[in-house]
Every structure is written in C-alpha cells, then in structure tokens.
Structure 1
C-alpha cells in the first residue's frame, strides 16, 4: 500500500501573518542562510525520482528541466505532478523563494524530474533502478530518492546504485516512516540514508532507524511547494523522512556547486565528517553520523578519500561479490540472500502532506521565524 495520504485542513489564522519562507523553520535550524552566502547550488543538476514535478509552480519557475517517466509514467517528461509529493521534494531542494514563496536549500540548482510510478500507481523496484541509471546518464550530480520499499530489493536496484556511484553521482534516500528498519534503497551501500528529526532537534518518532542510518535532518512540519491542482494554496506541510532526504540532497548540491571539481566520494565524506553528533560520539543507529551541517560541509578542509566511505573495502578475491546491503560498518556486508523477497513497495516516498490554506503576503522576511503550525493528524504508517 502507498504510504502517502494527504489531508487538507485550515491552519491557525496566525499563519496568515507569516510568509511561506518564514514557516520553513528548518532554514534557521540548519543555518541555511549562511550556507547560501557560500553557495546556492548553481550549475548542479539534482534528479528527483518521485511522482513528477510541477514545472509551472511559481517557486520552481526556471528550475525544472525536461525529465522522463517510467512505469505508468512512461512517455512523459516528468514535469507534471498529480500527486504533489515530487513537487514538494523539488521545492525543499531548489525552490526560489520569490514573492513570499518557499525557499529551497539550493535555489540555484536545477531539478531533473523522473516520474517513476508503475502500473499499480506505486514505485516498482526495477522501475526505480531504471530511474537511477537514467539520472546518472543524463547529467544528475545528486539523486534524491524520497521513497522506500518495506522489504528487500532486486539485484538490478543494487547494480543501478553501483552504476550511479561509478558515474560520480551522490545518492540520497529516505530511511522510511514506520519506526522499523531502514528501507531500500537507503540501505544499499554507498547511499546516504537519511533519518528524521523533530522541531526540537530530537529523533522524529516515526523515522525508520538502524545500522544503515547515515545522516539525520528535519522531518517534522516541513513547509514546501505543492501543485495548485492538488492544494489550492500551492503549498503544503509534511512530516516524513522524505523531507529529510530532500534537505540533505539540497546540501549535497551546495557542496557540489562550491567545489565543482570535488568527486562524489569526497562530497559524501564532507557530509558525514562534518555532521553534528546527536547521541554518543560516532555513528549510531538513530541519527547515523549526526545532523547534516551545511556550513560545516561547505567549509571543511578535508583530504581526498580513496573511495566512497559508505562502501565496503575492495574484495580480496577477484570473484564477483554478491549484491550487498549497507550495514553500520562497511567491512561487514550482508548478503542479499539474507533478505526476504520483495513483497510491497511504498509509493510517493515517506511523508504525510497537509495543504496550507493561507494567504501569502507579497513581502517576505529574509530572516524567518521558526514555524508555528502543528497538524493534528498523525503520520500514516506504511
């Protein structure tokens, strides 16, 4: 079953006095404005494998490239979105914030939309694998996957991840929202698996966690763009590691723009080496290496690494290793055969979206206040 369910509610009148940007509490929490003084993501293409992206949204005008579609979406260019989830992710990553609207982490980046629904209006494992390969072959430097599978993955998905890594792509995925183990493709080695945090900087209660967790980012009450065909206001608030994944993808775009010659492996290393510990020192199952730190990742002076630090060390044998899933320590791969066969996919990723029914003032503050809205509807489990 799809995890994504949408609820449109009237929010407190207090919100009418705030711009959309002022409601994006994560911008201040992560010191995004300081980071954007260093980089705005210019020249970086971020692929969004999702439900498509509404290229007509004012906050994404000029940011969305022609993409493609797979599965049920085959034959499209990815620039329409009847669901809203993909547009929300694109807004978190690259919305321009014009006229009081939503501001993304990397407003200078371009979005490459890949609509990837299958015939059952869900995301199929092999469809996502095709989408990853297509993104890697069409200029994506970062791939955001705010989606997840509640069971295992196919060898084709693992091979697609490995293919993209070899093509120098940074891969980011949501851990999931049912409080269980990290979902696929986030649990594949080399992928940055992003868990969620709440507004007070603690682990978000519904976030999937485990040894595969790599980073944490805000996942509660994230305000972003949405198609007007789905939410009349053109904006929505969401809970989910989908949003956390998109935030980290935006930060990766900032780093790739500031350091265009930096290989993906060093971008990944910068993100995990500068993350702010949230629990005991070092990596933990709940928040991985810690909260993503945009300024830290942009300004760190780190020596180059030999390989993506999330990959296992090279096999001593010349034999081809079996596809593996990520574990907490790269030197302890888990054989794919230890996992159950694929039984169900999670569509639209990992978030509950709520439409914002508010009037947006024409003037916005450049220093937003923390968001004040709280939705009464709890996240829907997978």
Structure 2
C-alpha cells in the first residue's frame, strides 16, 4: 500500500514548504524539541492557549512508565502493575510505556520547559497500568490481564484510555470490561497495528473504540499502518521523538504513537469540554479531521484514513454541535444472562415477563388434556387396523410355496426397495488454500527505532500541505 495523497487545504490556498496540518512556529534552541515535528504540524503553541489537558487523567495500558524522567516528572501517577502488584511509575528498562506517556503528557524541562520532549496535553495526568511485556518491551498479547487493567483504569477516574498494542482475541470478561468502560463514559483509543495489512484484530474492531492508523509528515498514510473499515482516525506515526525509560530519548515509527496523539487530543478536548460524552469528543475529532485533496466525495470512513487525520486546534475551536451521545462510536451490544438451567430469566426479551409466564401456566392443563385424548384415539385406531389385517391374513393364508414370515419377501409389511445403482462420488472437495496469517502481531505499536544521535533522522521531502 502506498499513498501519495497530500492534505486538504484550508481556504483553498497552498503555502509552499508548509508542514502537515499547519505552518511551523519559530525553531527552538533545543534539538530534541525541534525533532517533534507533530507539535509544529499541530501548531501546538496555539493549541495550548486554548487547552493543555489540565484536570484530565489518561490511563496508559502498556508496560510501566518512568515517572522520574525529567520531561514527565510530576505528571505520572503511581498506577498499578496488574500482574506483579505495586506501582507502575518506576520503570527503568522497557521504553514503550514511557514513550506513549510522553507523547500524551510530557512537559519538557529547562528554562520555560523549552527543552526535551513535550506532549500534546502537557498538563494532563498519566495513570500507568502495567501489563506483562514481551522481549521487545511491548505488552504481551492476550495475557489475561486486560480486563483487570481496564476496570482499574475506569475506577481510578481515567476519562481516556490509551491502548497501543494488539489483542487478537477477546475473552467474554475482556468484552465486558470494555463495555464497562464505554458505559462509564471513557474514551478508548487503540492502535491499528504495523504490518500494512487489511486485517484488524478483535480489540481494534470492538464497538466503542477509536481505532487509529498512522500518517507521515507529508500527509501520506504510512505504508505499514494496518487498515480496514473499523479505522476511525489517523495521526502522526513516523519519525516520532519521545522520552524513554532505558535512555533519555528514542526515535521510532508506529501506530502506537498515532494512538497516543489521539489520546492527547482527546485529553485537550475533555479538559475544554468537560460536559461532552466520550462519543461527542470523538465527534469533534471526526468532524474536524482532514482529508486528501480531490477526495471530498470519498466514502467515509475510508479504510486507510478513517474520517481523516486529527487537527486538534480545529477540534478545540470550531463551532460544532454536540450531536448525539454516542457520536460516531458504535455501542457494544449487551445480552441478557440466561437463568439457571438454561431457561430465560423472567422478564427477559422474548419471554413476555412474569405476566406471560402466568398465562402459559393457566393454559397448560387444557393442552395436556387435548393431547392425551388425541393420543388415546390414535392408539385405538392402530389396534383396530391391526386386528382387521390379522383376520384377513388368517383367511387368505400365505401364497403357495412362500414362507409368509415377517421380514421375508412377500411377508406382511415388506415393501420392495429399488436397488441403487453404483455409488456416484461427488465432485472432489476443493480444499481452500492455507490461511494466510497477517504476520506476527504482538503489538500494534511495535517500534522501529532509528539509529543515530538525536536530530540526525532523515528530513522529509518538501511538501505543500494545509494549514490548521
């Protein structure tokens, strides 16, 4: 998959050399901050004049977070490790959780916090919820801790939950936990994955979640971003500079980063519009998302872009009706629990409730009596028929030379059968080809770290995209 799409222009004007989403502010003296091209693309300085995410808690379900990192210190709550117990804010080895936290809520350091990494919602709080991790420092798929992690995050007051990982199969308990979060008005953000395939896993496809793909700084869909009809939004996901736990900073690609940027944007909106539901927050992100030029007639959501790439400043400042409670989110279906013994619970859909049960009980005797009478008459008819046949056979006797026994040719009740011809084999079964697994999917945001010192990553080609 390769897209050469640029972005829809604001007011129809093209500014030569402009970055994706908007013009860049003046360069900072700090190279790490300069490396954060999404902040320049989002025109973050203008965003922060409207909202900084203050008062919002974002749960990061991931590996643990280094809460002592100078760019995060003070913004990370203790959290919990759902497998081993204890807090989840003292990580020093695995980087992924710290990276996601820094995209969302890092505040930088130094004079005026002008140095280091800064998150999109620098005044939001991070609630780290540590899941078991694999060798490459990303959460282990299907580790049976997801339900516990979700419930903990909701009960601790998180209004946004970031899940930058893959989860191929959901248990019933996990589905119930996801539904619990949506009922509690929590926005669930999930990364689509990094294999470039048109196949999304169960977590990404679950009703009520915001599935996020990746675009690069030129506005093109990243060719390793998984896609499908469930994709709702896209966000920056290439050459992303973040804080880390095992070292000060790292540079990487992944839809993990894209999901974290959407979670950061959601934190900005939840701070600015505290009375909006999770669905209405998603609605503002969808209604202000950008689309490629010349594709205004595109059927939405597009499998690759969803409704488009996020534009946080527009989402914060545009006049957008709140809309329905659920917005673009699909709500998980709930099924009534069966009563003991497999019977439907009283009052459950389809049973008619207690009143219907009473009516069924009151009519039961009549049906039983009618049934018994019909059965008796049927038995009497059979007896009469057998007696008459037997008397007739006794008068006529068997044919000459025949045995006349039951089961013998010519005997009572025997019906000659047509001997079937040779068995005709059906057409040979066409075995379908082997199922093509869409590649290993241990984690939606598996990183591809870039080598070299900070600031040495390749520059993007000149582009002509839109403003905020």
* The one of 61, 64, 76 aligned to 1:52: 64
Structure 1 residue 20 corresponds to structure 2 residue 32: yes
* The one of 57, 74, 92 aligned to 1:62: 74
The alpha-carbon deviation at position 356 of structure 1 amounts to 6.1
CA distance 1:41–1:78, shift in 2 (3 Å): same
Supply the distance in 2 between the matched residues of 1:65 and 1:314 (Cα, whole angstroms). Answer: 30
Show the 5 A alignment for 1:158-177. 158-177=175-194
* The one of 38, 43, 52 aligned to 2:55: 43
TM-score scaled by length of structure 1 = 0.77
Give the SS at the match of 1:287.
coil
2:231 matched residue in structure 1? 213
Supply the distance in 2 between the matched residues of 1:129 and 1:354 (Cα, whole angstroms). Answer: 34
2:85 matched residue in structure 1? 75
Is the CA contact 2:56–2:158 (under 8 Å) kept in the aligned structure 1? Answer: yes
Supply the distance in 2 between the matched residues of 1:177 and 1:67 (Cα, whole angstroms). Answer: 28
Is the CA contact 2:54–2:271 (under 8 Å) kept in the aligned structure 1? Answer: yes
Is the CA contact 1:67–1:78 (under 8 Å) kept in the aligned structure 2? Answer: yes
CA distance 1:58–1:356, shift in 2 (3 Å): farther
The alpha-carbon deviation at position 344 of structure 1 amounts to 7.7
Supply the distance in 1 between the matched residues of 2:456 and 2:442 (Cα, whole angstroms). Answer: 30
Give the SS at the match of 2:281.
helix
Supply the distance in 1 between the matched residues of 2:144 and 2:329 (Cα, whole angstroms). Answer: 22
CA distance 1:138–1:19, shift in 2 (3 Å): same
Is the CA contact 2:95–2:244 (under 8 Å) kept in the aligned structure 1? Answer: yes
Instruction: Give the stretch that moved more between structures: 258-267 or 282-291.
Output: 258-267
Q: Deviations over 1:312-345 (max 9, x none)?
A: 4797xx9549xxxxxxxxxxxxxxxxxx9xx986
CA distance 1:32–1:356, shift in 2 (3 Å): farther
2:132 matched residue in structure 1? 117
Flag the structure with more relative contact order, 1 or 2, with Cα contacts below 8 A and sequence separation at least 6.
Answer: 1
The alpha-carbon deviation at position 23 of structure 1 amounts to 0.5
2:301 matched residue in structure 1? 283
Show the 5 A alignment for 1:121-270. 122-124=140-142, 126-149=144-167, 151-180=168-197, 181-227=199-245, 230-231=246-247, 234-270=248-284
The alpha-carbon deviation at position 189 of structure 1 amounts to 1.0
The alpha-carbon deviation at position 182 of structure 1 amounts to 2.2
The alpha-carbon deviation at position 118 of structure 1 amounts to 6.2
Is the CA contact 2:132–2:143 (under 8 Å) kept in the aligned structure 1? Answer: no
Give the SS at the match of 2:132.
coil
Structure 1 residue 97 corresponds to structure 2 residue 85: no
Supply the distance in 2 between the matched residues of 1:176 and 1:314 (Cα, whole angstroms). Answer: 22
CA distance 1:303–1:125, shift in 2 (3 Å): farther
Q: Deviations over 1:336-379 (max 9, x none)?
A: xxxx9xx9862584322347644xxxxxxxxxxxx76139xxxx
* The one of 279, 295, 317 aligned to 1:299: 317
The number of residues matched between the two structures is: 320
The alpha-carbon deviation at position 39 of structure 1 amounts to 0.3
Is the CA contact 1:50–1:146 (under 8 Å) kept in the aligned structure 2? Answer: yes
CA distance 1:96–1:160, shift in 2 (3 Å): same
Instruction: Give the stretch that moved more between structures: 204-213 or 291-300.
Output: 291-300
The alpha-carbon deviation at position 40 of structure 1 amounts to 0.4
* The one of 65, 87, 111 aligned to 2:98: 87
1:353 matched residue in structure 2? 449
Give the SS at the match of 1:126.
coil
Supply the distance in 2 between the matched residues of 1:133 and 1:353 (Cα, whole angstroms). Answer: 32
Give the SS at the match of 2:449.
strand
Query: Which structure: greater strand fraction?
Result: 1
Is the CA contact 2:277–2:325 (under 8 Å) kept in the aligned structure 1? Answer: no
Give me the CA root mean square deviation.
2.7
TM-score scaled by length of structure 2 = 0.64
Please, which runs of 5 or more residues in structure 2 have no aligned partner? 1-28, 338-435, 460-468
CA distance 1:61–1:118, shift in 2 (3 Å): closer
Supply the distance in 2 between the matched residues of 1:215 and 1:372 (Cα, whole angstroms). Answer: 29
The alpha-carbon deviation at position 125 of structure 1 amounts to 5.0
Supply the distance in 2 between the matched residues of 1:178 and 1:185 (Cα, whole angstroms). Answer: 16
CA distance 1:169–1:312, shift in 2 (3 Å): closer
